[in-house]
Amino acid sequence: MALEVYQVDAFADQPFTGNPAAVVPLAAARDAAWMQAVAAEMNLSETAFLVPRGAAAAGGGAEWDLRWFTPEVEMELCGHATLAAAHVLWETGRLPAAASVRFHTLSGVLAAERRDGLVELDFPALPPVAEPRPWPQVAAVVGAEPVWVGRRGESLVVQLEDEAAVRGLAPDLTGLLQLADGLIATARATTPAFDFVSRYFAPGVGIAEDPVTGYAHCVLTPFWAERLGRDEMSAYQASRRGGVVRVRLAGDRVRLGGRAVTVLRGELTPAAAGD
């Protein structure tokens, strides 16, 4: 049988904004090599693969296995493709409109629910750890003088002077790979509707710049909550496409809220589906 494929713009309230992800619902688990090949064919920053668990397999449950692939590698955590996956489950009737969903992933169990008109994701908080000075190599690669430098996993986290510095950033991505797989650049917002802005570059996983990144906001939510003195904030990822993320810090968890829009529905042919 042909397999359904959806392309969804996540953290977006209109088509062609936010971050596009492909979502492929499956009846049963498939091997990683096939999923990686599909993700390379989709050629989006992430392709999400969903497999029902337990009662979901009979059409009535809210437990799903979820895996994410870039065109090059499998990822351990991805926010926008998780939002897209939840959106597809609700939109296609695989999940009742009022039900929440639990995703079993490489990062543990992640949840999604509808709240205040948004899809809200329950993700781990990932506060960055400060990097001691001096920072001249970081400044050279980033192309701007940092106010603060830290790390989270394989990502470099840099606070810049202001929103204009973040928006105008043009980092040396080749040089960045000598320091880290990715770069999260952020600053306090000057645009009145937002508390902070950011951009995310991930050349280490084949993504020059990601439009809107859930993972980055797992890092930035505890970072800015400490500095701004509040747990609920509005964030803007200032990529070319751009996207709004509503964030809440809840202990060691982060709630990421956003909208999603389906822009394409199609199918993999039997040959591509491996049937």
> CA 145 to CA 158: how far, in whole Å?
9
For 161-209, the three-class secondary structure string (H helix, E strand, C coil) is CCHHHHHCCCCCHHHHCCCCCEEEEEEECCCCCCCEEEEEEEHHHCEEE
The alpha carbons of the chain give a radius of gyration, in whole angstroms, of: 18
Which of 246, 166, 224, 235 lies closest to 200 in space, CA to CA?
A: 166
- Asked if residue 152 lies in contact with residue 219, where contact means CB atoms within 8 angstroms, the answer is yes
Confirm whether 46 is a catalytic residue: yes
- Determine which one of 41, 46, 74, 232 is catalytic: 46
Question: Phi-psi category of 22—alpha, beta or left, where left has phi over 0 and alpha has psi -120 to 50?
Answer: beta
Count of other CB atoms within 10 angstroms of residue 109 = 11
Helices 79-91 and 214-228 sit at what angle, rounded to 10 degrees? 110
Look up tokens 């709240």; give the residue.
Answer: 115
Q: Which residues are designated catalytic?
A: 46
